[in-house]
């Protein structure tokens, strides 16, 4: 019998696993890039995220709070191309370029915070319901059904109106509304996955329920949640802009819905720019994440593409 050194073997296994993950990641990327609409969505996302990240370089803030739009009271509703105002100003002197650029950062902050909160809450609730089952599942799903029975926009509008006009309250309202879909998705996935033979095998060899959940169930249940989170990155900004448009955000904040609201009264008089440019940003943001999310769903779950 030949003695084999114990040291190199784990390294070879680790290297092999790393190569497998790298190859799968490359295959996933290539599959995504084969779809022109997915590529278009990715391009929109990269451009808008670049605008958000480099906002201080594109439109340098000149107020203590960079998220507050600067006002030029001597240049109300000036058209695009005016000196000092490339995209013009709103009816109350807000610089449209500044609002569009910093609105991208506001939208990024809104979508990341809300998606992170809703995924955390929804995955936790859905995991407990699906993994435990029984009365726990019944109680949690009835709570989810109550939330799902109210339309998202109306529910968010009611919560934000009760809490008062504030960007922070919009974040809270959207988090309360959007978590339930993740709970429903996660519960369904876990119920399906935990019936597989490899989960039964893990129980037979004595793995603890927590280890089975983390090692065998969660990694095989999370894909639909990732797809839904990608789609919600666009949907949340759309709903948030709607709430800001009707006055449930702070006045003067650099946010696309606020800009559209400030410019709506001037549309009939031909002052289209202060609503058009931020409206286009909301459209491109939602379109980009929806196109990319659809492509991601087709790649991660080919069955959805075949049934379309």
Could you read off the pLDDT of 198-241 as tens digits, one per residue?
888 888 888 888 888 888 888 888 989 999 999 999 999 999 99
According to the model, what pLDDT value does residue 235 have? 93
**How far is residue 137's CA from residue 145's CA, in Å, rounded to a whole number?**
12
122-126-129-131 Cα dihedral, nearest 10 degrees: -140
Question: Which residue intervals of 85-166 are DSSP H helices?
Answer: 96-132, 134-148, 152-163
pLDDT over 60 at 13, yes or no: no
Note the Cα 225 to chain centre separation in Å: 11
pLDDT over 50 at 277, yes or no: yes
Note the Cα 2 to chain centre separation in Å: 55
Could you read off the pLDDT of 134-153 as tens digits, one per residue?
899 999 999 999 999 988 88
Crossing angle between the packed helical segments 8-33 and 36-53, to the nearest 10 degrees: 100
Largest Cα span, the chain: 92
Structural domain 77-306, CATH architecture: Orthogonal Bundle (1.10)
Contact between residue 110 and residue 169 where contact means Cβ atoms under 8 Å apart: no
Could you read off the pLDDT of 162-197 as tens digits, one per residue?
998 889 999 999 999 999 999 999 999 999 888 888
């Amino acid at each position: 019998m030949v003695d084999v050194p114990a040291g190199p073997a784990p390294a070879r296994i680790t290297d092999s696993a790393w190569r497998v993950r790298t190859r799968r990641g490359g295959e996933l990327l290539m599959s995504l890039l084969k779809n022109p609409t997915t590529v278009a969505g990715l391009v929109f996302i990269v451009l808008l995220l670049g605008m958000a990240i480099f906002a201080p370089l594109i439109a340098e803030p000149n107020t203590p709070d960079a998220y507050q739009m600067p006002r030029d009271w001597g240049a109300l509703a000036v058209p695009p191309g005016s000196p000092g105002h490339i995209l013009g100003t709103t009816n109350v002197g807000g610089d449209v370029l500044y609002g569009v650029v910093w609105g991208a950062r506001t939208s990024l902050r809104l979508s990341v915070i809300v998606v992170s909160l809703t995924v955390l809450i929804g995955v936790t609730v859905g995991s407990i319901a699906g993994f435990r089952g029984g009365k726990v599942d019944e109680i949690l799903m009835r709570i989810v059904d109550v939330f799902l029975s109210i339309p998202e926009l109306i529910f968010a509008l009611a919560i934000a109106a009760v809490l008062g006009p504030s960007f922070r309250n919009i974040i809270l309202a959207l988090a309360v509304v959007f978590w339930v879909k993740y709970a429903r998705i996660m519960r369904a996935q876990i119920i399906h996955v935990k019936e597989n033979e490899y989960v039964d095998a893990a129980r037979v060899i004595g793995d603890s329920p927590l280890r089975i959940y983390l090692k065998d169930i969660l990694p095989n249940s999370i894909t639909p949640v990732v797809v839904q989170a990608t789609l919600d990155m666009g949907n949340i900004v759309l709903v948030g802009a709607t709430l800001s448009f009707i006055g449930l955000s702070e006045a003067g904040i650099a946010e696309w819905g606020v800009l559209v609201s400030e410019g709506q009264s001037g549309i009939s008089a031909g002052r289209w720019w202060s609503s058009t440019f931020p409206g286009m940003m909301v459209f491109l943001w939602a379109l980009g994440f929806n196109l990319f999310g659809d492509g991601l769903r087709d790649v991660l779950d080919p069955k959805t593409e075949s049934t379309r």
